[in-house]
Structure 1
Amino acid sequence: MTQYWPFSGLMRQNALRERLIVSLDLRDRGEALKLVDRLARVVGMFKVGRALFVGGGPDFIREIRRRGAEVFLDLKFHDSPQKVLRAAVEATRLGVKMFDLHPYGSNCGSTEMMTRTRTEVARICRTEGLRRPSILAIATLAEMKSANSSPRTPVSPDRVTEIARFAADASLDGVVTWPHEVPRVRNSCGRRFIIVTSGVRLREVASPASNAITAADAIRAGADYVVVGSPIWSATEPIRAVREITDDIERGLRNNPRRTFEILNPRPV
């Protein structure tokens, strides 16, 4: 496999860490910023969810950005199309690298909300000279059903793939989904569609009998990013935990040689 890795040092210092997103699901804003200070040089991105954003607001995002770190703003925008659009524009102006939205428009077979959001974000970036963030649709909510289905209607096993296709048709950049859904989404949406996944298990605690999916498994299946939270920030040595995960990511990439070209030549965002 060494022929796929002529620049292994480059891989470890740059591309591998870019694949890891650390979730800042901490209660204390100061504690979260301390973790950012500690890991910013070895982690590609930090995920900020509702709790920290409500507590710290836009200034919290700016504090992370001032430290040279990238942000995945995980607020799952879900409102009227106009309000989602306005929230997306403000997230763009904050300089986040990614944000997500609830693809509720797809529940009634429409991609209008997602398309409008993508178009307006692109326009704002052109007119204001901003970097365009990646826009992701949430495809992990198993309870999402079509608007005319009853609460007792079982969810189709292909629902996640359907949502991903709606997102791709609306020119969104990708989806957030569970690790076990990654292969189907990748096969349905192509190699340049971004897949972010969470819920992976660390290699040392994932027993074969449990069918747990590790970071290597997720990357090998076609995921672009893995989100990991408590195994890192609750570790005695968070930097060591990060290195163990990036080592696992490298194992996944080594067993998926078709991804090597994309690592050296990342997709535009």
Structure 2
Amino acid sequence: MNQAEPPLIIALDFPTPDDALAFVQRFDHPEELFCKVGMELYYQGGPAVVRQLQALGVRVFLDLKLHDIPNTVERAARIIGGLGVALTTVHAQGGRKMMAAAVRGVRAGAADAGVQPAKVLAITQLTSTSPAALRDEQQVAVPLPDSVNHLAQLAATSGLDGVVSSAAEVAGMRPHLPDDFLFITPGIRLADAHVDDQVRVMTPDAARRAGSSGIVVGRPITQATDPVAAYQHIKSLWEEPIHE
């Protein structure tokens, strides 16, 4: 992924592959799209839905959030690596050994298939997690931004390419991480929109100014009356020039 061309990624949170493919084909140029396939869609369609999207020219972010013992994650990541997706994810809370195993698996799978290896991103804290939930349910004593920073640094030292986090935490992470580290940020909403089940949200233009490398947008596009127009509007906000 070229950081000079930061992506707007559409979250294809549809119940069936047919729904997702029909949505993508509403766009005149699906080859210009970057789309996220999450657990719901992948568990329905499996590798076939990834390949169908790729056949249309769509770049795929396969967001399965691997989290298991290192050996299991490495084997699963090897399968993902062979699919030729652009991005994939693991949970940073799985620890350094597990994250390093994911990177090995992705690279091995890509080499076997003769494709470019996916960039591996770490999930820090979900954008649906509130400071109260972090404290009371996870029993993490440090403030939420400190937890996110710690997990991001752990991911970097484990050989990962970036993190998935709220855009609100990017500015605090950037000084402590490599210049080419990626910050992919979901929880994006328009200023007048419902936040749904997200807690830590930000508008597309604010996320860009905060330093996000890319944003993930689902319902504001997929559930819009005119998804193509909604996509173009959000894209225009995301691509607004940043004035120093």
Unmatched segments (≥5 aa) in structure 1? 1-14, 258-269
Q: Does residue 132 of structure 1 match 2:117?
A: yes
Which AA in structure 2 matches 1:139? Answer: T
What secondary structure does 2:116 align onto?
A: coil
Indicate how the Cα distance of structure 1 residues 77 and 256 shifts in structure 2: closer, same or farther if over 3 A, else same: farther
Q: Tell me the secondary structure at the aligned position of residue 35 of structure 1.
A: helix
2:128 is equivalent to residue 114 of structure 1 = no
- Give the drift of 1:123: 3.9
- Structure 2 CA distance, aligned partners of 1:189 and 1:212? 22
Tell me, what secondary structure is at the counterpart of 2:35?
A: strand
CA distance in 1, matches of 2:14, 2:73: 26
Residue pair 1:220, 1:255 contacting (<8 A) in 2 also: yes
Check 1:87–1:249 CA distance in 2 against 1; reply closer, same or farther (3 A cut): same
Please give the alpha-carbon distance, in whole angstroms, between the structure 1 residues aligned to 2:185 and 2:45: 25
How far off its partner does 1:153 sit?
4.5
Q: How does 1:1-269 map to 2 (within 5 A)?
A: 19-39=7-27, 40-41=29-30, 43-106=32-95, 111-141=96-126, 142=129, 151-157=138-144, 158-203=146-191, 205=193, 213-251=202-240, 254-255=241-242
Distance 2:105 2:187 in 1: 32
Residues 126 and 70 of structure 1: CA distance in aligned 2, closer, same or farther (over 3 Å): same
Instruction: Report if aligned partners of 1:137, 1:175 keep a CA contact under 8 Å in 2.
Output: yes
Are the aligned partners of 1:21 and 1:43 in contact in 2 as well (CA < 8 Å)? Answer: no
Deviations 1:2-28 (A, max 9, x none): xxxxxxxxxxxxx66x51000011123
Shift of 1:132: 1.0
Whole-angstrom CA distance in 2 between matches of 1:156 and 1:34: 42
Report the CA distance between 1:161 and its aligned residue.
Answer: 0.5
Distance 2:42 2:231 in 1: 24
TM, length-normalised to structure 1: 0.77
**TM superposition shift of 1:122:** 2.6
Amino acid at match of 1:255: I
Partners of 2:176 and 2:69 lie apart in 1 by: 28
C-alpha separation between the residues in 1 aligned to 2:41 and 2:110?
A: 26
Contact 1:22–1:43 (8 Å) recurs in 2: no
Q: Deviations 1:54-94 (Å, cap 9, x if unpaired)?
A: 11111111111111101111110111111111111111111
Q: Return the alpha-carbon distance in structure 1 between the equivalents of residues 62 and 201 of structure 2.
A: 27
SS in 1 for 2:50: helix
SS at match of 1:89: helix
Cα offset for 1:42?
7.2
Moved more, 122-131 or 239-248: 122-131
Q: Give 1:171 shift.
A: 1.3
Alignment partner, residue 197 of structure 2: none
Taking the aligned partners of 2:30 and 2:113, their CA distance within structure 1 comes to: 29
**Same amino acid, percent of matched pairs:** 35
Change (3 A) 1:170 1:212: closer
The change in CA–CA distance for 1:250 and 1:177 in structure 2 (over 3 A counts) is same
Work out the number of aligned pairs and report it: 229
User: Would you say the 8 A contact 1:24–1:49 is kept in 2?
Assistant: yes
Change (3 A) 1:32 1:221: same
Q: Give how far 1:43 is off.
A: 4.8
Question: Which protein shows a greater Rg?
Answer: 1
